Every structure is written in C-alpha cells, then in structure tokens.
Structure 1
Amino acid sequence: MKKVLFTASEAVPFIKTGGLADVVGSLPKYFSKKNYDIRVMIPKYSDIGEEFTKQMHYMDHFYMDLNWRQQYVGIFELEYGGIKFYFIDNEEHFAGPRPYMGIPEDLEKFAFFSKASLSALPTIGFRPDIIHCHDWQTGLIPVFLKDGFQQREFYRGIKAVITIHNLKFQGVWDISTIKNITGLADYYFTPDKLEYRKNASYLKGGLVYADAITTVSKTYAQEIQMPFYGEGFDGLMRARSENLRGIPNGIDYEEYNPLTDKNIARKYSAKNFRKEKVKNKTALQRELGLTVDPKVMMIGIVSRLTDQKGFDLIAYMMDEICQDNIQLVVLGTGEARYENMFRHFAWKYGDKVSANIYYSEEMSHKIYASADAFLMPSLFEPCGLSQLMSLRYGTLPIVRETGGLADTVEPYNEYEGTGTGFSFKNYNAHEMLGIIRYAERTYYDKKRAWNKIVDRAMAVDYSWNHSALEYQELYDWLSE
C-alpha cells in the first residue's frame, strides 16, 4: 500500500480561503482505499470552528529548532470523511484572526509549518512514500527534506511532489531574512536554487527540489513555460518540463448536485431541468428584487473581483451589456473599483443587475442553479472551479480560452451540434461582448439547441475520480 501525506495551508471543511482548500479536503477521498493510504496535515488555526476542535484528539508535542530558537510543536488528529487529518499546533504562529496575514509575517509561520510537518512524522508513526505539497506555503518541505532530514534513516527515500495552484503567489522576500528564518546554509541561495531576482522564493525551492511538479490543468502546464504566464519562472518550468504534469482539478459531486442541493429552491436533474431549473431563477429574482420573468436570460458571476478574473473587460463593456435583454447577478468581493462599479450598475439598473458584494456558499449555489449562463473571462486561470460547478448545474459557461477554462469548456459549434459552453480567444472586451451576444441569440432564438448544450454540459464528468486516477499514476511512477 502506498502512503501519501498531503501538506497544505488550508483544507475544507476546517479552513477555506479559496480553491486550494477544496482540492486538499476533497481529493483524498477519491483514492482507492485498498491501494493508497492518503492523510492530510494542515496548521491548527484558531479560526477553525469549535465543532471540529472539540473532536480533535491530542497526540503529542515536542520542541524543534527553527530561527535560532526552540519552538513548541503540538500534534492533534481527527478522522473526517474516512480521511485522517493531522493539525500542527503553535499559538504564536496560528492564533491570528485569519490564516494569512501577508508577507513577511507569513514567512516564519510557513517555514515553521514545513519543518514541523517533517519533524512530526516519527511522532505520529506515519512514514509516507510521498509528501504531496501544495503552493508556496509548503515549498520549503522538499528543501528541508533534502537538506537535513534525508540523512536520517526514517526519511531516506521519501519523495516530494509539489502542486502549483497559482504561480503568481511565490513566497518571496530578501535572502538574509529567509536565511535567518529557515537556518538554511548559503549553498541554497544561488540562482539555480532559492535565489529569485536577488531575493529568495519558497515556491522556487519547492520547484527545484521536488521530485515531480504538477499544476491544475494541462493547458496551464504549457502556459507557465512561456514568459507571459510564467511569472519569472518560465525558464525553470521549461528546464523541469519532463517532471511537470497538468492534472485538472475536479469538484465534489456530492456537494455540488442539483438533485440533492439543500441550498436551492427547486431540486432538478438532467432529466427534468427543462421544467424545474427555471423555478430557481424566479425564486432568486424575487429574493434579489429583480424583475420576475422566467423567460429573461440570467447571467451569473461568482468570483473574486480582481483583474486576473477579467473584470477590466466587464467594466469596459458593462453599459453595453446592460442594454441587452438580460439580468446579471454578481457575488463576490475584491478590488474596490470593481465592487463599486457593480454597486453603481445595480443602482442604475435595479431591476436587472444585482450586486452582492460579500461571499456566501449558500448564495453561490443559488446562482449556479438559477442562472442560464455563467461569465468567466479570466486573463489567466490555472484551473478554475466555478465553470465546473456551473456545468454541473446546467448553467452554460461563457469563458476565455486560457488554462483550465480551455481544457474544461468545449465551445459550442452550431454546425456540428457539439459543445458545452461558449468561449472567446483574445483578451479583448469587444470579443467578449461578441460571444455573450452569440450566447444570448442562441438562448432566445434557438431554444432547442440551447437545451441540447445543457444536456451535454450536465453529462460531462468533472468529479475528482478522473484526477485521482492521474495522481495515482504519478505516485506509481515516482515509486518505481
């Protein structure tokens, strides 16, 4: 049986700020229990809800050298959904009001977590064949593993995998600070190791020292080998391309299921969506104070309101979009200019635009179930989960062809009768508007064709099953 330890800064249901938590909390459940023992280790944040901390079982504690001092490491465990989770405890590092305080504050916190994760393994009596690290917060684990730990019998031969969820976040700061925090020798701070633009990067350490690198879609794995998407690491990505794989994310098909979803007004399936799905739309129109009209096309947006997600394109075309016979429902927070832009249009067109400038899991489900189309014109998108959720609910994605969006949304071809959504290629506001209007014409003038696209969208399978099989293949290849 292969033993694998996931290490990450967050995991559902305990702590979540983004898609990383969904991956780390959901993916382990989908491996064959007969052949794989997958466990997860995250920090024990004070933010974790009491319903979970009450169930945690204290295992042990010890003291560890880091940053020229002895630091306390407590270990708690909890089995959840058939998976064993370990929590690394240290109040100094994990007692803040939220999991991330920003750099430089997070540098010592995650250096501590990385070293503590490795140091805790003999104490918990689990020797993994592979440690699967996620993003820059665990980038030091492959470095520490090669630095001091592999000299010890217990750690010899353990392999490391690192998954890039978003290459934009790299854990970068000046070399002397990182040297002091980590206690790593000068040897590690050269351009072929942790040094990055005269600073040092935790993520780069992971990318150099891991035995394999994955990222969250096949197209993004190609894109990050080019300067525009490579965030300064494109040369390193090309150098390590033989060890780089794109494995798409999935979603939890139990949680996102229109037939059983407790958050939505009317449950439905691929068989009866033609009659039942629209009842969610009218319920949401009433709830949000929009004109109640089952026939009007509703476009949903659930997102962080940032440049990366293409909101500069939407802002440029917002007046034009609002002239069309559509309703627009937005949910999310982010940059003030986009929050205020949506508030302004909701004030100006109160009967057709709803700006919900907050985040709510319940409201996100309502939008996936109620909208006819889902707009996601990202500048870059490593994988994207929202388009997978909208496909699951028969809400057709309108996306830009980049990263995971290009891999998961097949553009509608009216001549061949294929496709699961609509897409445009260039990062251009007029091109985006053109494809939105093409979707509108299909919705209003070719209703049968639209419903066939919905049939195909609801039939695709982006559950974690496929991804788990690809990860199993990777683990097997590493263990040969």
Structure 2
Amino acid sequence: MKKILFAASEAVPFIKTGGLADVVGSLPKYFDKEKYDVRVMLPKYMCMKEEWKEKLSYHTHFYMDLNWRKQYVGILELEYDGITFYFIDNEYYFNGFAPYGDMYADIEKFAFFSKAVLSALPVIGFRPDIIHCHDWQAGLIPVYLDNFRYGDEYYRGIKTIMTIHNLKFQGTWDTKRVRDITGLPQYYFAPDKLEAYKDANYLKGGIVYADRITTVSNSYAEEIKTPFYGEKLEGLMNARSNCLSGIVNGIDYEDYDPATDTHIEKNYTCDSFRREKIKNKIALQKELNLEQDHHIIMLGIVSRLTDQKGFDLIAYVMDELCQDAVQIVALGTGDEKYENMFRHFAWKYPGKVSANIYYSEALSHKIYASCDAFLMPSLFEPCGLSQLMSLRYGTVPIVRETGGLKDTVEPYNEYEKTGTGFSFMNYNAHEMLATIRYAERIYYDKKRDWNKIVERGMNQDFSWKNSAKQYEELYDGI
C-alpha cells in the first residue's frame, strides 16, 4: 500500500479560488483504494464556511520553530468522501477574508505551512512514501525535506512530486527576508537552488528539489521549456526535462453531469440533447432578458476576466462580433477594464449580450448546459477546465491551440467529419473572429454536422479516472 500526501493551499469543497482547488479536492478519491492511501493537508482558513469548520475534529497540536519565531501548529481532521483531510491551524497566519492576501504576508504564511506539513507527519502517525506538492504555496516542502533529512532519520526516503498548475505564479520575495522567515541555511539561496534573478523563488525551490515535476497537460509541459511560456524558468525546465511530464486534469463527472444536474432547467444525455438541450437555452434567455429565439447561436464565457484568458482579443472584435446573429453570455470577475467592456456591450446590445460580473456556480452550470458554443481564446492555458465542462454538456468549445486546450479539443474537419470543437492557432483577434464565424456557418448551414460535433464531444472521457491512472503510474515509477 503506497501512502501519498497531497499538500496544497486550497481544495473543494472547503476553499476555492481557482482550478487548483478542483484538482486537489477531486483527484484523491479516484485512486485505487486497495493500493493507495491518499490523504490531503490544507491550511485551516478563518474564511472557510462555518459548516465545514464545525465538522473538523481536533487531532493534536505542538509548537514549531520558524527561524527565531515559535509558532503554534494545530492539526484538525475530517473524513470527506472517503478521504482524510488534515487542516493546519494557526490563526495568526490563516485569518483574513480570503486565502491569499498581500504577497509579503503570503510568503511567510506558506513558509509556515510548508514546514508545518513536514513537522506534523510524526505526530499524526502517517508517514507518506510520496508528498505531492501543488503550486508555489507548497514549493518549500521539497526544500525543507532536503534540510530535515540531514538531522532526522524519519524523513529519509520520502519522495516528492511538484505539480505546476500555472507557472506564472511563483512566490518570489527578497532573498534576505525569505532567509529570515524560513530559517533555511545560506546554502539554499544560490542561483542553482532557491534564488532566481536576485530574489528567492518558492516554486523554483520546489522544482529543483522535487523528485518528479508534473504539469497539467502535455502541451504545457513542452511549452514551458520555451521563453514565451517559461516565465524566466525555461532554462530550469529544460535542465529538469527528464523528470518533467504532463498529465491532463479531469473534471468530476458526478458534479458535472447534464443527466442529473440540479442547477439546470432540463436534464439531457448524449441521446436526448437534440430535443432537450434547447429547453435550457430558452430558459436562460428568459432568465437573462435575452431575445427569446432558440434558433440563434449562443456563445458562453465563464472565466476570470484577465489578459491570460484572451479578453484583449474579445474586446478588440466585440463590436464586430455583435453584428452577427449571435448571443453572448459572460460570467466572471477580473480586470476592471474587461468587466466594464462587457457591461458596455450589454448596454449597447440589450437582448444580445448578457454581462454577469460576479461568480455563481448555478449560473455557470446553466451556461454550460444552455449555450451552443463556448469561447476560450487563452494566451496560455496550462490545462483549463471550462472546455472539459463544455464538452461534457454538449457545448462546442472554440479555443486557441495552446496548453491543455490543444490537448483536449480536437479541431473540426468538415471533410473527414472529425473533431470536437473549433480552434485557431495565432494569438490574433481576427483569426479568432474568423474561427467563430466558421463555427456560426456550420451551426446555421450544416446542423447535422454540428450535432455530430456535439455528440463526439459528449462521448469524450475527461473524468478524473483517466488522470488518476496516469498519476498511479507516476507514483509507482518513482
């Protein structure tokens, strides 16, 4: 029986700011329970919902040195969906209204978390064979583990895997300050270890010291070896490329299932979508005060509204796109300029554009179930989950060929009658517009072909089962 510990800063259903939480919360329950004992360790944030905080049971506590500070470490636990979750408790670090705040505070908070994860192992009676660290917030775990090994037999032989969900976020701060916070010896603050461009870099430390590095799609694993996607770490990614692999994320097929989804107007399956999907569309048009016409193509967008997600392209051609026979439904928050851009077009084209500048789980499900196509023109996309949800709901993705989008959406070929979506290659607004218009043409003029694209998409399997199998192979080979 292999023992695996996931260490991360967020996980559904406890705390979520992005796709990382979906991975850490969903993936553990898909491993073969006979062969793998997978548990998860998270911070206990004050901003977690009361319903979860009430369910946690106290396990133990101890005091730990964080350089010259002595800090309280409480450990609480909860079994959820058959998985044991441990929560590291310290009100000084994990208070506040959100899991992340100012970078200088987060740097100390996650140094504490990384050291606490390792210090907690002997007292919880769970010695993992592998610690699976997620993103920069857990980046110091492999570094501390290396440091612990010198003085303590207990930690020898524990392996680490570092999973990069988005290389853009690295956790960097002034080296002198990080040395003071972490208490790590000067030895670790060299350019071939933690230091990058004069600063200390948590993610880099994790990548240097982990036994294996994974990222969340094959294409992204290749892309990050190049300067455009490498975020100044492409040299390191190339140096460690023999330990680097990509495993595409999945989605929880129980949570995202058009046949049983309680958020949507009308349930449907791959056999019944031709009749039933349209009822969701009409209900959403009614709910959002859009023109009620089920013939018109409806484009959905559910996203953080940021440059990374390609909103500069959308802003550039939005007026032009609104001249077409289309409806656009956007949901999400982010950069003010993009929030206002959608508000402006919703005002300019009432009945055609719906701007929902907030986040709602229920509305996101309705958009996946109601729209005909889903737009995702990202500049870079390590994996992306929205396109997987759209495929599951029979909403045809229109994506840029990058990272996980390239790996999961097969472009439509009208001569061979293959493909599950539409894609364009260059980061160019008019190339995107041409691709949307090509999709419109197929939708309006070749409805039978369109329905076949939907069918192929719904028959894809991007459940966690697939990803879990690949992670199992990785665990076995380490």
Q: Distance in 2 between matches of 1:85 and 1:151?
A: 28
The one-character-per-residue Cα deviations of 1:254-296 (angstroms, maximum 9, x if unpaired) are 0000000000000000000000000000000000000001111
Q: Equivalent residue for 1:52?
A: 52
- What letter is aligned with 1:59? H
Report the 3-state secondary structure (helix = DSSP H, G, I; strand = E; otherwise coil) of the residue aligned with 1:412: coil
Q: Secondary structure at the match of 2:229?
A: helix
Please name the residue that 1:127 is paired with: 127
The superposition leaves residues 330-353 of structure 1 with CA deviations (integer Å, 9 ceiling, x where unpaired) of 000000110001000000001100
Structure 2 CA distance, aligned partners of 1:36 and 1:47?
31
Which secondary structure does the structure 1 equivalent of 2:72 belong to?
Answer: strand
In the alignment, what sits opposite 1:464? 464
Alignment match, 2:61: 61
CA distance in 1, matches of 2:383, 2:67: 36
Q: Deviations over 1:424-443 (max 9, x none)?
A: 00000010000000000000
1:8 alignment partner in structure 2: 8
In structure 1, distance between residues paired with 2:154 and 2:96: 33
Query: In the TM superposition, what is the alpha-carbon distance from 1:149 to its structure 2 partner?
Result: 3.9
Instruction: Give the whole-Å Cα distance in 1 for the aligned partners of 2:342 and 2:56.
Output: 42
Query: 2:60·2:74 contact (CA, 8 Å) conserved in 1?
Result: yes
Letter in 2 for 1:71: Q
| Shift in Å, 1:69 | 1.4
For residues 414 and 453 of structure 2, the distance between their equivalents in structure 1, rounded to whole angstroms, comes to: 10
**CA distance in structure 2 between the aligned counterparts of 1:67 and 1:107, rounded to whole angstroms:** 14
Alignment of 1:39 onto 2:39: yes
Residue 397 (1) aligns with residue 397 (2)? yes
Match of 1:136? 136
Report the 3-state secondary structure (helix = DSSP H, G, I; strand = E; otherwise coil) of the residue aligned with 2:6: strand
Q: Indicate the residue corresponding to 2:436 in structure 1.
A: 436
Q: Secondary structure at the match of 1:12?
A: coil
**Kept in 1: contact 2:148–2:155 (CA 8 A):** no
Residue 153 of structure 1 deviates from its aligned partner by: 2.0
Matched ranges for 1:129-208 at <5 A: 129-149=129-149, 151-208=151-208
Amino acid at match of 2:142: P
- 2:75 corresponds to: 75
Aligned to 1:243: 243
- Structure 1 SS opposite 2:329: strand
- Given that 1:216 and 1:247 are in contact with CA atoms closer than 8 Å, whether structure 2 keeps it comes out as yes
C-alpha displacement at 1:150, in angstroms? 5.1
Distance between the aligned counterparts of 2:150 and 2:255, measured in 1?
A: 40
Deviations 1:14-34 (A, max 9, x none): 000000000000000100000
Task: State the shift of 1:140 in Å.
Answer: 0.2
2:324 aligns with 324
Q: What SS class does the counterpart of residue 230 from structure 1 fall into?
A: coil
If the length of structure 1 is used for normalisation, what is the TM-score? 0.99
Paired with 1:68 and 1:341, the residues of 2 have a C-alpha distance of: 49
Map 1:325-364 → 2, pairs under 5 A: 325-364=325-364
Q: Is the 8 Å Cα contact of residues 150 and 157 (structure 1) preserved in structure 2?
A: no
Q: How does 1:289-308 map to 2 (within 5 A)?
A: 289-308=289-308
Post-superposition offset of 1:67: 3.3
Q: Give the Cα separation in 2 of the matches to 1:346 and 1:67.
A: 54
Tell me, in whole angstroms, the C-alpha distance in 2 between the residues paired with 1:418 and 1:301: 24
Match of 2:410 in 1: 410
Amino acid at match of 1:428: N
Deviations 1:345-403 (A, max 9, x none): 00000110000000001100000000000000000000000000000000000000000
Deviation at 1:132, TM superposition (A): 0.2
- The root-mean-square deviation of aligned C-alpha atoms, in Å, is 0.6
The 2-side partners of 1:419 and 1:400 are apart by 15
Superposed displacement of residue 96, structure 1 = 1.1
Could you tell me how far apart the structure 1 residues matched to 2:150 and 2:118 are?
Answer: 11
Contact 1:264–1:365 (8 Å) recurs in 2: yes
Provide the rounded CA distance (Å) in 1 between the counterparts of 2:363 and 2:275: 22
Give the Cα–Cα distance (whole angstroms) in 1 for the partners of residues 200 and 153 of structure 2: 30
Amino acid at match of 2:75: I
Q: Which residue does the alignment assign to 2:258?
A: 258
Counterpart CA distance in 2 for 1:67 and 1:138 is: 18
* Structure 1: segments with no counterpart, 5+ residues: none
Question: How far apart, CA to CA, are the structure 1 residues paired with 2:461 and 2:83?
Answer: 23
Tell me the alpha carbon deviations over residues 305-330 of structure 1, each in whole angstroms, 9 at most, x when there is no partner: 00000000000000010000000000
Partners of 2:211 and 2:150 in 1: how far apart? 14
Structure 1 CA distance for aligned equivalents of residues 426 and 97 of structure 2: 40
Per the TM alignment, residue 47 of structure 1 is displaced from its structure 2 partner at its CA by 1.2
Read off the aligned partner of 1:117 and give its amino acid letter.
V
- 1:48 deviation in Å? 1.3
* 1:54 positional shift: 1.4
Deviation at 1:148, TM superposition (A): 2.0
